[in-house]
């Protein structure tokens, strides 16, 4: 009787809260994690590797996969489409890997609906002032863009209640440990251990009959 080991985690967060940096550090520090690789219909750039950066597929193949329900979530833009391949994710989870998927709140809600055992993490700065500082610090954002990011963050705050965990990124190392602890804890919640509990129930009845 084994507990389920693999997991799928969605990581959302304020633009500027440092999701990407946390995930990069997490992948470097612990072997069990892997990033979800998306499918895209756009052409690979010179340095990009198929199956590592993206799965590069044709629009026909993309549409066929939509038909077969093979995307956890997907988005169609004017020129290209992007999607998260469900069979690939399921295979990695079955292998015992902790799959990470960086995605905004709307996409996260779709993933959660398809896989209710998805762990949902939301990364925030310690406070609003720090968020402004980080966005300003990039040096590339205009005042208008920063204002838009703050409005977006205000809207996102109202969606955080559907997340399992709030990750405050006050310090990179601490935030990485928080994400790691959250995933390693939450994957043993009862809703994620349904098989283990159902086996346990059968065994309890068996043991009682043996008495």
Residues in contact with a copy of itself by the rule CB under 8 A: 1, 3, 122, 124, 126-129, 131-132, 143, 146-147, 150-151, 153-154, 157-158, 160-161, 163-168, 178, 181-182, 184-186, 188-191, 193, 196-197, 200-201, 203-208, 211
User: % helix / strand / coil in the chain, to the nearest 5?
Assistant: 50, 20, 30
The helix or strand, by DSSP H or E, that contains position 88, with its residue range, turns out to be helix 86-94
Nearest distance in Å: CB 58, a copy of itself: 40
CA distances from 194 to 2, 91, 144, 206 (A): 11, 18, 48, 19
Give least dist CB 144 to a copy of itself, A.
9
Helix H or strand E segment including 116: none
Decide whether 1 or 78 has the Cβ nearer to a copy of itself: 1
Closest CA to 8 of 107, 125, 86: 86
Q: Whose Cβ is closer to a copy of itself: residue 31's or residue 158's?
A: 158
* Residue number with CB closer to a copy of itself (52 or 208): 208
Q: Which is nearer to a copy of itself, 23 or 120 (CB)?
A: 120
Are 93 and 77 in contact by the 8 Å Cβ rule? The answer is: no
Residue 131 CB, shortest distance to a copy of itself, in Å, is: 7
């Amino acid at each position: 009787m084994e507990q389920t080991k693999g997991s799928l985690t969605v990581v959302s967060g304020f633009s500027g809260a440092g999701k990407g940096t946390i995930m990069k550090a997490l992948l470097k520090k612990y072997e069990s994690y892997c990033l979800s690789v998306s499918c895209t219909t756009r052409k690979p750039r010179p340095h990009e590797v198929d199956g590592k950066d993206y799965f590069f597929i044709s629009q026909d193949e993309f549409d066929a996969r939509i038909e077969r329900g093979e995307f956890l979530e997907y988005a169609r833009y004017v020129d290209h489409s992007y999607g998260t391949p469900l069979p690939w994710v399921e295979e990695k989870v079955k292998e015992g890997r902790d799959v990470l998927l960086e995605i905004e709140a709307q996409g996260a809600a779709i993933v959660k609906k398809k896989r209710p055992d998805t762990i949902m993490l939301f990364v925030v700065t310690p406070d609003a002032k720090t968020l402004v500082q980080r966005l300003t610090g990039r040096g590339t954002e205009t005042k208008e863009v920063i204002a838009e990011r703050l409005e977006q963050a205000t809207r996102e705050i109202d969606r955080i209640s559907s997340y399992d965990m709030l990750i405050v990124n006050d310090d990179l190392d601490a935030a990485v440990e928080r994400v790691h602890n959250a995933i390693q804890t939450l994957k043993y919640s009862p809703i994620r251990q349904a098989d283990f509990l159902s086996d346990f129930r059968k065994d309890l009845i068996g043991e009682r009959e043996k008495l």
